[in-house]
Chain A
Amino acid sequence: MKRIVIDAKKCDGCKNCTVACMQAHRADEGTVYDLDLTDVANESRNRILVDSDGTYKPIFCRHCEQPECAMSCMSGALQKDPLSGLVLYQEEKCGSCFMCVMNCPYGVLKPDTKTRSKVIKCDFCQDAGGEPSCVKACPREAIYVEEGLG
C-alpha cells in the first residue's frame, strides 16, 4: 500500500503542491507557466490550510484503508484497488450524488465547481505518470510517498 505521508511541521505553505496538482489535472495542454490558476476547471485535489497559530495543515486524500468515500458510493465509481491500495474514481460511472463528500470524515472531497457532476479526488496522478505531482513539487519534503503502509 502506498500513501503520501505528510510531515505537517515541515510545510511552509508555499503551495507548490497545489499548483502541481492543478497542472497535472488541467484539461488543456501546456506548461505550468501558462496554467490558468483562476480557471475552476483546473481546481486542485489538495489544499494547504493555515491554522489559527500560523502553522500549515496539508489536506490530502489518505487513500484510507477503510475508505468511507468508497463505502458510500452507490454507483461503484469509487473503489479501493486491492493491489495498489489506491482509492480510484471512475468518472463515467459516477451518479453525482455526492454521498462521498458527505462521508469523508476529513473533508477532503468536493464536487467539481464547474459542472457539479463529478468529485474532485486525488488519483495519485495515474494519468500523469503515476507518481504524485505534488510530492515531486514539494521543496521541503513535507510530503513523500511511503510503501507498505496499512
Chain B
Amino acid sequence: MKHVIIGASAAGITAAKTIREIDAKAEIVMISTDAWVHSRCMLHKYLSYERDEMGLSFISEDFFDQYNIQWKKETKVTRIDAVGQKVELGDESNVAYDRLLIATGAASVIPPVGEFRTAGNVFGLRNLSDAQQIRSMAEKAQRILIVGSGLVGMDAAYAFLENGKEVTVAEMADRILPLQLDEKAGKAYQRLFEQAGCRFMLGKKATGTVSDASGNISKVILDDNTEIECDLVIVAAGVRPEVSCTEGSGIKADRFIEVDETMQTNYPYVYAAGDVTGISGIWPNAMKQGQVAAQNMCDIPTVYDDRYAMKNTMNFYGLLTLSLGRGVIEENDKVLISEDSKNYRRAILRNGKLDSILLQGTIDYSGIYQYLIKNEIDLEGKQEGIFNLSFKDFYGVKENGEYQFQIENAAFA
C-alpha cells in the first residue's frame, strides 16, 4: 500500500507516524512546501531569536529514517488526479498513491487594505518561511505594526518587544485577544504588554496605507484617521484553509475540504485532516484528525468524534490563562466569578452544565474542565464549587489501570 501525504505539520506528521505504527511495510511519501518540519505555534520563538530552525521542530532529528518515510520537501503539489490516483508536482513529475491525505493546513488572510497585498514589507505569520523573511527584514526595521490581537498577533508582539522594537498593535475589537478572553482577562495582558512598551490601538480598523518609493508601506491609516508610521507590518487577521491543490480535481472543496466522519473526502482513497478541513484550527485537533485519517487509510474504520475546539491556553510574561468555550453570556446563564490577588476565574453555566470557563493565574490540574464541557456533564450540586473540582469528584479506574470518569454510577471512557 502506498500512502501519499501532502503537508508536514501536525496532521500530516501524526498521520505518517500512525500509518507506520499500523503497517510496517507500507510505502509512505510526504510532500511539503516547507523546507523544515516546524511547529507553527512556536514561530514567535524564531522571531525573538530564542530558537533556530531546528529548535522549532516537533519531531526527532531522525524521524524520516526512523519511520522509513520519503519526504519531498520544498515541493508543491500542483494538481491531484483523484481518478487516476496520482498527484502532480511543480516539476510536472507524478507520484501515484493508493491512499492520499491532504493536510495542507491554512494560509494567512491579508485583507485588501491599501497596499497590504502588494507591499514588500507586509507579512502574515503562518509558516517558517514567513518568519524567516520577517526576521531578516526586522533587522533593519524598528517600528513594527501588528494588525490583529489574536494569539498570532500577540505572539509576534511579544517577540518584537523582546528584541527591543517599537510595537503597535491595532485591533478592531475594543479589547485584546477578544475571542479567547473577556475584558478583565484581556486587560491583565494588555497591562503586561504596555509595561514592556507595547502600544495598543483598540476599536480601530486599518483603512489605508501610504507607501514609499521602494514599494514599502511607511504609514498605515486607521478608521479614525490616526496615522501609524511603520517599517514592517504583520497581518494577523486570520487564516483560510489552503485548498489550492484540489483545484480542478473534483475533490469537494469550497472554502475548506469537506470530509465525512472518517476524514474521507468525496473521493474514495482521498482523505483530509487538520486546518484544511475547516473543522477546527487548533493543534490537538489536527493531530487527532491526522491519526483518525491514517487509521481509515489503513482500513481500520475509525470515526473522528473529538470535535471540541473552543479551547486555548496562553502564556505571556509568566501570566497563564486557560480559556474554554465561547465565553458569551446568554439569558438565564449562571456566571460564577472568583478573584484573589493572583487569580481571575469565570465560569458560565448553562442548564446545569458548564459552557465556558476562563482561568487566569493558576491553571494547575485544569484538564478536567474540557472533559466536563465537551461531554456536557450535569454539574447539579457541584456548581458552587466549580473552581475546586478535580478528578477526585469523578474518580473511576478501568480494568487496565487507566482512569475513567465515574458520573452517578455511569462510567465514561
A: residues with CB less than 8 A from B are: 3-6, 8, 47, 49-51, 57, 59, 62, 64-65, 68, 71-76, 82, 93, 95-99, 101-111, 113, 116, 146, 149-150
Contacts and interface: CB of A to CB of B under 8 A. Distances in A.
B181 to A, nearest CB: 15
Interface stretch (B96-104, B123-131, B363-371): B363-371
Contacts of B402: 3, 62, 64-65
B313 A8 contact: no
Nearest to B398: A62
Contacts of A99: 283-284, 313
Contacts of B315: 96-98, 111, 116
Interface string B362-396: 01111110110000000000000000001111010
Contact of B367 (A5, A95, A104, A146): A104
Given A51-B392, A109-B367, A149-B400, A71 B287 contact: yes
A102 B367 contact: yes
B320 interface: yes
Interface stretch (B37-45, B172-180, B217-225, B245-253): B37-45
B41 A97 contact: yes
Contact of B287 (A72, A95, A111, A150): A72
B397 interface: yes
A68 B367 CA distance: 10
A42 B46 CA distance: 31
Nearest to B283: A74
Q: Which 3 A-B pairs have the closest CB atoms?
A: A76-B58, A110-B364, A72-B284
B183 to A, nearest CB: 22
B320 A98 contact: yes
Contacts of A150: 400
Residue among A47, A103, A107, A109 with the highest chain B CB neighbour number at 10 A: A107
A49 B288 contact: no
Contacts, number: 130
Given A111-B363, A111-B364, A95 B45 contact: yes
B39 A74 contact: yes
A111 B360 CA distance: 13
A115 to B, nearest CB: 8
Nearest to B291: A71
Contacts of B159: none
A50 B392 CA distance: 8
B60 interface: yes
Interface centre among A93, A95, A104 (most CB of B within 10 A): A95
B130 to A, nearest CB: 17
23 contacts: A6-B397, A47-B365, A57-B392, A59-B391, A62-B403, A68-B284, A74-B58, A74-B283, A75-B39, A76-B59, A95-B42, A98-B313, A98-B315, A101-B366, A102-B363, A102-B366, A102-B367, A105-B367, A107-B367, A109-B367, A110-B365, A111-B364, A116-B318
